[in-house]
Amino acid sequence: MQRFNFPVVQPDPALEELRRELQAFLKEEREAGNFRPEPECWMASADPEFSRKMGKRGWIGLTWSSKYGGQDKSALERYIVTEETLRSGAPVGAHWIADRQHAPMLLKHGTEKQKLDILPRIAAGECYFAIGLSEPGAGSDLANVKTKAEKVADGWKINGQKIWSSGAQICHYMVALLRTSPADGRNRHVGLSQIMIDLSLPGVTIKPIVDLSGDAHFNEVYLEDVIVPDDCLLGEEGSGWKQVTGELAMERSGPERFLSSYITLETALWQLSGKMGSDSHARLGKLIASLRTLKGMSWGIANLLKQGVSPDTEAALVKDLGNRLENDLTQQVRAMLNDLPPEDWSPDMRRIMNMGVLRSPPNTLRGGTTEVMRGITARQLGLR
Q: Which stretch binds ligand FAD (CB under 6 A): 50-58, 125-133, 152-160, 292-300?
A: 125-133
For residue 40, what are the CA distances in angstroms to 46, 101, 148, 350? 11, 18, 32, 16
CA atoms within 13 A on the CB side of 143: 15
Per CB under 6 A, which of residues 203..262 are in contact with ligand FAD?
A: 218
**Residue 54 touches ligand FAD, criterion: CB under 6 A:** no
The Cα–Cα gap between 291 and 294 comes to 5
For CA atoms 358, 360, 363, 369, give the dihedral sign: negative
Among 101, 134, 147, 271, contact with ligand FAD (rule: CB under 6 A):
134
**Judging by beta carbons within 10 Å of its beta carbon (0-12, 13-18, 19+), is residue 143 exposed, middle or buried?**
middle
Among 48, 104, 139, 246, contact with ligand FAD (rule: CB under 6 A):
139
For 322: left if phi > 0, alpha if psi spans -120 to 50, otherwise beta; the answer is alpha
**Residue 194 touches ligand FAD, criterion: CB under 6 A:** no
At closest approach, how far in Å is the CB of 259 from ligand FAD?
16
The Cα–Cα gap between 170 and 221 comes to 12
- Of 151 and 384, the one with the shorter C-beta distance to ligand FAD is 384
For residue 294, what are the CA distances in angstroms to 148, 326, 331, 365, 375? 39, 11, 18, 19, 20
Among 85, 165, 194, 290, contact with ligand FAD (rule: CB under 6 A):
165
The answer to whether 34 and 41 are in contact (CB under 8 A) is no
For ligand FAD, what does the binding mask look like between residues 357 and 376, x meaning CB under 6 A?
A: -----x--xxxxx-xx--x-
At closest approach, how far in Å is the CB of 69 from ligand FAD?
24
Q: Which stretch binds ligand FAD (CB under 6 A): 22-30, 86-94, 124-132, 270-278?
A: 124-132
Query: Euclidean distance between the first and final Cα of the chain, in Å?
Result: 11
**Residue 131 touches ligand FAD, criterion: CB under 6 A:** yes
Q: How many residues belong to the chain?
A: 384
At closest approach, how far in Å is the CB of 133 from ligand FAD?
3
**Residue 16 touches ligand FAD, criterion: CB under 6 A:** no
**Residue 166 touches ligand FAD, criterion: CB under 6 A:** yes
Interface residue list for ligand FAD (CB under 6 A): 130-134, 139-140, 164-166, 218, 362, 365-369, 371-372, 375
